[in-house]
Structure 1
Amino acid sequence: MFVLTLTYVAPLVAVDAEMDAHVAWLKQGFAAGVFVAAGRQIPRTGGIILALGERALIEELVKTDPFATAGVATYAVTEFRATMVGDGYEGLQA
């Protein structure tokens, strides 16, 4: 599993200008079964996406995010193995 940490590197007005395209990109990731959860950081300095798949696929996928292609956000990709999960989340364990 991967934690994708987005950090905004442009003013929020520039981020918001790319929001519709970013949300469409997220929907594609969910439909493909790659994304598990996504949302904004609080305070609004970026976002977090939980993703499943191979590292190479994930690293290529984040390059296609409209936030990345427009230069309004950068990504950090952190891989981890969920060895403990709550009831109902067993599918997230490695």
Structure 2
Amino acid sequence: MFIVSLTYQVPLEKVDVFIPEHVAYLNEQYAKGHFVLSGRKEPRTGGVIISTISDRNKLNDVLAEDPFHREGLARYEVIEIVPTKASEKLEFLV
């Protein structure tokens, strides 16, 4: 499992142009079961994605499809975690 932290590298006006395409990308990844949570940072400096993809190379390929990545709008920090404990609602992640 991975936590992906995106940090915008351009002004929000440029990011906003690609929000609809980014949301479509997220919807596709949710439908494929690759992502289980995502949202923007507050303040709005980027976003966070939690992915259940288990292979880092596959995750890299999936992230490369993100229009934010393709357009150079965000920097991506990827943190791998091995879940060992979760609330009842999130036990499926362990």
TM-score by shorter chain over 0.5 = yes
Q: Distance in 2 between matches of 1:22 and 1:74?
A: 15
Find the aligned partners of 2:89 and 2:70 in 1 and give their Cα distance: 36
Aligned-pair CA distance for 1:56 = 1.0
Unmatched runs of 5 consecutive residues or more in structure 1: none
Q: 2:40 aligns to what?
A: 40
Runs of 4+ more than 4 Å apart: none
Q: 1:62 maps to what in 2?
A: 63
Q: Using the alignment, how far apart are the partners of 2:92 and 2:63 within structure 1?
A: 23
Report how many aligned residue pairs link the two structures.
93
Unaligned 5+ runs, structure 2: none
TM-score (norm 2): 0.96
Computed over aligned residues only, the root mean square deviation of the Cα atoms, in angstroms, reads 0.7
> How high is the TM-score relative to the length of structure 1?
0.96
% identity of equivalent residues: 40
